[in-house]
C-alpha cells in the first residue's frame, strides 16, 4: 500500500472483526486512535504526548 502525506492510517479489516475490536476498546475506555498510538509508542519506544489536565491552574 503506498504511503501518502496525510495524517491518516488506513487498513482493511473484516467487518465482524472491526465490531469486536471497537467493543473491546470501548470496554477499556479507549478509542481506536488512542489504542493505536499506545501500541505504536510501545513498539517504537516513542514517548506519548501527555493529555492536558482538566484542572485549572488556579488551584
Give, for 32, the enclosing helix (H) or strand (E).
helix 32-44
Q: Which residues contact 40 (CB under 8 A, 6 or more apart)?
A: 46
Question: Is 25 within the bounds of a domain?
Answer: yes
- pTM for the full model? 0.61
Q: pLDDT under 50 in the chain at which residues? A: 59
Q: Which residue has the cell 505504536?
A: 40
Task: Output the CA torsion sign for 5, 6, 8, 10.
Answer: negative
Q: Which domain holds residue 24?
A: 15-44
Q: Is residue 8 part of a domain?
A: no
Q: Is residue 2 part of a domain?
A: no
Judge whether 21 lies within some domain.
yes
Amino acid at each position: 500500500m503506498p504511503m501518502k502525506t496525510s495524517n491518516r492510517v488506513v487498513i482493511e479489516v473484516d467487518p465482524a472483526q472491526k465490531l469486536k475490536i471497537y467493543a473491546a476498546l470501548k470496554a477499556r475506555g479507549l478509542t481506536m486512535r488512542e489504542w493505536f498510538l499506545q501500541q505504536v509508542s510501545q513498539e517504537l519506544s516513542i514517548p506519548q504526548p501527555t493529555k492536558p489536565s482538566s484542572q485549572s491552574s488556579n488551584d
